Chains A and B, each alone.
Chain A
Amino acid sequence: MRHHLILRVVSKMLIPFILLFGLYVQFHGDFGPGGGFQAGVIFAAAFILYALVFGDDQARKVIPDKALILLVPMGLLIYALTGFAGILLGGKFLDYDVLSSDPTQGQHLGILVIELGVGITVAAVMISIFRAYAGRTKAIDKEDW
């Protein structure tokens, strides 16, 4: 789609805002509607849009495959380690109360970290799924579609 000028310009303008909105949904999730799942998908949407307009190879330069493989488990690890932190600090698994001296602040902190982990994993997984399909060599002829 290299020659679709309008598309390229519009998406170049849009992508930063999509990312910003993703971050908003991510970090505002504990006060209003939002959270890691939604944010992750929005975040991934930005990268997918980029890949669609500028090509898969270009997108791979932004986030290499290796980074994705690293990011997927990273989010999960953040989640699980927060859970274990609860145990280590004397509470139960995923107990946010003990994360800080004040239980309310602990809850706040806990849910932020957890959602961050979720967001990272979801975004990385969505991009991986897209890449897994888009990156496949053409096996289907034009006529077949």
Chain B
Amino acid sequence: MNLIVPHLPVLQVAIPLIAAPICVLFTFGGHRKLAWLFTLSISWICLLIAGALLSRVVLETDISYAIGSWPPPFGIEYRVDPINAFVLLIISGVSAIALPFARLSVEKEIESDRHVLFYTCYLLCLTGLLGVTITGDAFNIFVFLEISSLSTYVLIATGVRQDRRALTAAYNYLILGTIGATFFVIGIGLLYMVTGTLNIADLAERLKPLSDNRVVHAGFAFIIIGTCLKLALFPMHAWLPNAYTYAPSLVTVFLAATSTKVSVYVLLRFLFTVFGPTYDFVNLTFEFVLLPLAIVAMFAGSVTAIFQTNVKRLFAYSSVAQLGYMMLGVSLCNIPGLMATILHIFNHALMKGALFMALGCVVYRLGAISLGSMKGLGRRMPWTMGALTLAGLSLIGVPGTVGFISKWHLILGTLESGYWPIAILIVGSSLLAVIYIWNIVEVAYLEKETSREQTLKEVPMTMLAPLWVLVILNFYFGIDTDLTTRVARNVAATFLGGG
């Protein structure tokens, strides 16, 4: 045990990292089918590690791991505290649930000779996301961010078999993502220029006397814009809808549930751990940049979603709106608001994971997911559409689901700050969600089916089971909120108290 337990932080990243090259080797000797099984088991190992890490940081104390035994401010440090342990759990959990679903979906959507490389990229993406989350070194964040982004571009482009627009979507994401990452690295460079350190904890210490330094301000601005581009905050969301729409189903599930969340985490890390709300310029950012953009995002995303006929794109725009909720919680800068953001990182992963997975099931049978092709699908694929409806209810924020929990805290946060008109805006935008969800429900259940759908059958059990696991989790964590709220409260208190 001594060989494993103290090394858990690095194993979290190193295991999927080493798994990726091993996965390539499955190209040889007709073991192609094993790639999926291998990826699945790696994901489950990651989930176990993340669970162990979370329980340790919640019950005991933060963990610091020095790579190569170089002590923290000099070497790269992996630092686990409740917030990133929580995000780690989300990433590896979504991956562990999505992969059982992946086998059939990937077989259907991607050429068989590319499967091995697809799963390799997937593992790299997983590595990158886990790495961004766990590392305590600012430049290391950039490196892992690029590992995950580069593999994401490839993963999105593999959707080309379904639709050639996957290529342009990946290309646009590549351009914007690289600009975002470069902005981020400029910011890091500027901070390094004045502080001479890259370690996040150390950076926070050394920045304290420098709050009036203009280089620090510039660095802050670059970092914020870079991460906001990566997390698709309106109006920097242009890459997201097409990327989600044309990516293969598995990729959409995984990305929608994790990648933007990781960027939100990075933003939180910089806003609260490195800078902290005691700095004037951070507070001004909250009030004059993030807050208005978040509100516009909530509405622009939802309204655009209403007019979409491609259901995947519809939910992609809804993601833009949901990111608005998260950013709103951040910009409120009080305990319930931050709790709402952290809860929503988790909750949104659950509901969007379920929604996109249900759409993946539809794609598996229909090959297309325009609203028109879903007529009467409720009768042909009752379990899939049932799951879609229930996850949709969670997205709306019906009580008893996870969506309600985050919305409750968010409204509480706005009222506590005295922004009660914003509370009404939040409520209004969730009513917009009712409209677009109900569009789908009406088409699926109340429209007459066309002759083409008559022969449709429900998808196999291996796809339904993970889908329903996610749906049930949507309700479970809507009722048993012990774990999630405890972590969220803990983190919010540290962020606001420690900043």
A43 close to B (CB within 8 Å) = no
**Is B68 in contact with A96, judged by CB distance below 8 angstroms?**
yes
**Is B21 in contact with A76, judged by CB distance below 8 angstroms?**
yes
Of B12-20, B46-54, B398-406, B484-492, the one contacting chain A is B12-20
Q: How far is the CB of A17 from chain B (nearest CB, A)?
A: 31
Bound together, the chains give a CA A3 to CA B66 distance in angstroms of: 58
A91 close to B (CB within 8 Å) = yes
**Is B25 in contact with A73, judged by CB distance below 8 angstroms?**
yes
Within 8 A of A (CB), among B1-29: 3, 7, 10-11, 14, 17-18, 20-22, 24-25, 27-28
Contact count band on A: 20 to 34
Q: How far is the CB of A131 from chain B (nearest CB, A)?
A: 15
Of A21-29, A56-64, A79-87, the one contacting chain B is A79-87
Q: How far is the CB of A78 from chain B (nearest CB, A)?
A: 10
Bound together, the chains give a CA A83 to CA B24 distance in angstroms of: 20
Within 8 A of B (CB), among A83-111: 83-84, 86-88, 91-97
**Is A95 in contact with B25, judged by CB distance below 8 angstroms?**
no
Find A73's partner among B3, B11, B22, B67 (CB 8 Å cutoff). B22
Bound together, the chains give a CA A80 to CA B22 distance in angstroms of: 11
Given A87-B3, A93-B10: A72 and B68 interface contact (C-beta under 8 Å)? no
Residues of B within 8 A of A77 (CB): 18, 21-22
**Is A94 in contact with B67, judged by CB distance below 8 angstroms?**
yes
Given A93-B67, A94-B67, A95-B68: A87 and B7 interface contact (C-beta under 8 Å)? yes
**Is B21 in contact with A73, judged by CB distance below 8 angstroms?**
yes
**Is A80 in contact with B14, judged by CB distance below 8 angstroms?**
yes
Q: What 0/1 readout, one digit per residue, does chain B (190-202) give for beta carbons within 8 Å of chain A?
A: 0000000000000
Interchain Cβ contacts under 8 Å between A and B, 28 examples: A66-B28, A70-B25, A70-B28, A72-B21, A72-B24, A73-B20, A73-B22, A73-B24, A73-B25, A76-B17, A76-B18, A77-B18, A77-B21, A80-B14, A80-B17, A80-B18, A83-B14, A84-B18, A87-B7, A92-B7, A92-B10, A92-B65, A92-B68, A93-B7, A93-B14, A93-B67, A95-B68, A95-B69
Bound together, the chains give a CA A73 to CA B35 distance in angstroms of: 15
A74 close to B (CB within 8 Å) = yes
Within 8 A of A (CB), among B64-109: 65-69
A14 close to B (CB within 8 Å) = no
Number of interface residues of B (CB under 8 A): 19
Q: How far is the CB of A92 from chain B (nearest CB, A)?
A: 5
Bound together, the chains give a CA A95 to CA B71 distance in angstroms of: 11
Nearest chain A residue, comparing its CB with the CB of B68: A94
A69 close to B (CB within 8 Å) = yes
Nearest chain B residue, comparing its CB with the CB of A77: B21
Within 8 A of A (CB), among B420-461: none
**Is B21 in contact with A80, judged by CB distance below 8 angstroms?**
yes
Residues of B within 8 A of A87 (CB): 3, 7, 10
Q: How far is the CB of B356 from chain A (nearest CB, A)?
A: 30
Find A93's partner among B25, B27, B28, B68 (CB 8 Å cutoff). B68
Residues of A within 8 A of B10 (CB): 83, 87, 92-93
Within 8 A of A (CB), among B463-486: none
Bound together, the chains give a CA A112 to CA B475 distance in angstroms of: 53
Within 8 A of A (CB), among B42-60: none
Q: How far is the CB of B90 from chain A (nearest CB, A)?
A: 24
**Is B69 in contact with A97, judged by CB distance below 8 angstroms?**
yes
Residues of A within 8 A of B20 (CB): 73, 76
**Is B14 in contact with A92, judged by CB distance below 8 angstroms?**
no
4 A-B pairs with least C-beta separation: A73-B21, A80-B18, A93-B10, A94-B68
Residues of B within 8 A of A69 (CB): 24, 27
Residues of A within 8 A of B68 (CB): 86, 92-96
Within 8 A of B (CB), among A27-72: 66, 69-70, 72
Bound together, the chains give a CA A76 to CA B19 distance in angstroms of: 10
Q: How far is the CB of A110 from chain B (nearest CB, A)?
A: 8
Bound together, the chains give a CA A56 to CA B201 distance in angstroms of: 51
Nearest chain A residue, comparing its CB with the CB of B18: A80
Nearest chain A residue, comparing its CB with the CB of B76: A94
